[in-house]
Amino acid sequence: MEARQNIRNLDLDQLKSSLKEMGEKAFRAKQIYEWLWKKNAARFEEMTNLSQSLREQLDSNFYIDHIELKDQQISTDKTIKCAFNIEEGKVIEGVLIPTSSRTTACISSQVGCSLACKFCATGKLKLMRNLSAGEMVDQVAYLRDQAENRYGRPLTNIVYMGMGEPLLNYANMLRSTELISSPDGLGMSPKRITVSTAGIAKMIKRLGDDEVKFNLALSLHAANDEKRSKIMEINDSNNLDSLSEALQYFYQKTGTRVTFEYIIFKDFNDELEDAQELATFAKCVPCKVNIIEYNPIDDGEFQQASRSKVDAFAAYLESKNMIVNVRRSRGKDIDAACGQLANKNKAILKEDRMMK
C-alpha cells in the first residue's frame, strides 16, 4: 500500500489531476483548496460541503501536515508566545506582538537553525529540518485568530524572524508567502510581509530574480567585516561587499526598500564609530534602519546597551537623513523577544532529539 501524500504539497492544478484519478469532478479541487488555505482546516472531516465518501477517500490517500498548539504564554505586555508541535514530535515557536499601531505575527521557517549566530538562542540549537509551506501558514493563521479573538484586532504584519533562516528554506518560504497573500489563501497584502535573512548573497539575488513583492530585512548588527564575523559566522562566506552587491541587485529588480536590523550590544557595536560605519554601508540601497534592543539569553556573553548609547546612536543616523526606528523589547518576561526564541524550550528540543 502506498504511503499517504501530504495534500498541502499539491498546487491547485495537481489537486485537480489527483481528483480526476479518483473519479471526482475537478471543481471539487477549488473547494478543497479553500478548506486547506482560506479556512485552514486541520482534518478532512471538517470539509462539510464535500460528501462523506469523498472525505473518506481523501483521508485514505492524503494527510494534512497541520501543526498543533503545545504551549502558550502571555506576557505582561500582551505578547503571546506559542510553542507548536509538528511531525516527529519537534517543537517550533511563533509570537504575536501587539502594539498601539500594529499587530505582528513573528513566525519560524525551520526547526532549529544552522547558522549559530552567537547572540541568538535558536542558534544554540542544531538544524533539525525545514518547515513546509503549510506549517508556516498555520502559524500565521493561528496567530491571526489570537489577534482577532483575544484582542479584537486584525493581524497587520507578518515577519519571518522566528526560528531558522528563511532563505535556506527558499522554496517552502516562497510558497508560504504566496499562500498568505493569495485571495485563495489568507488574503494579506505581500507588502505586509517581511522576510528577514542573516545574509546569503546568492539567495538575496534570487529574490530579485523572482521579483518578490514582500519586504526584505537584513540582520546586519555590525557594518565592518571583522566585528560581524565575530558574532555571525555566515559573514565569513557572505561578507559585506557581497551583501552590498546583492542588495543593490535586489533593489534594481524589485524597487523595494531594504530594512537593516541592528541589534545594539554594550561595548561591542554601540559607539558613534559603529554608527558611522552603518551609515556608510547603508548608502548602498534605499533603506530604513531598525535599532533593536538586545535581549539577553542564558549564556550572558552579550549585554544590553545603555539607553543613552542607543539614543545617541539613533540620533547620529537621523542626522544623516536616515529613516530610523528604535525597537524596544516586548515579551521579554516569557522569552519571546528578538533572539530569545527556544530559550525556554531548549530542554524540550533536546529531549526530542534524545528520543530519536
Q: Rounded to whole angstroms, how far apart are CA atoms 280 and 295? A: 26
Topology adopted by domain 5-63: DNA polymerase; domain 1 (1.10.150)
The alpha carbon torsion through 146, 188, 168, 323 (nearest 10 deg) reads: -100
Residue extents of the structural domains in the chain: 5-63, 68-355
Q: Rounded to whole angstroms, how far apart are CA atoms 260 and 282? A: 8
Give the mean model confidence (pLDDT) for residues 242-261: 98
Tell me which CATH homologous superfamily contains domain 68-355: Aldolase class I (3.20.20.70)
Q: Rounded to whole angstroms, how far apart are CA atoms 52 and 66? A: 21
Q: Are strands 258-264 and 323-327 parallel, antiparallel or unpaired?
A: unpaired
Catalytic residues: 93, 338
Instruction: Give the per-residue pLDDT at 118.
Output: 85
Per-residue pLDDT of 185-226, as tens digits, reads: 999 999 999 999 999 999 999 999 999 999 999 999 999 999
Give the mean model confidence (pLDDT) for residues 317-345: 70
Of 78 and 333, the structure prediction assigns the larger pLDDT to 78
Q: Rounded to whole angstroms, how far apart are CA atoms 246 and 44? A: 44
What does the block give as the cell for 304? 544590553
Q: Does 341 score more than 90 pLDDT?
A: no
Plot region of 89 (φ>0 → left; ψ -120 to 50 → alpha; else → beta): left
Q: Does 347 score more than 50 pLDDT?
A: no
Please calculate the CA angle 56-59-61 and round it to the nearest 5 degrees. Answer: 110
Instruction: Give the per-residue pLDDT at 348.
Output: 36
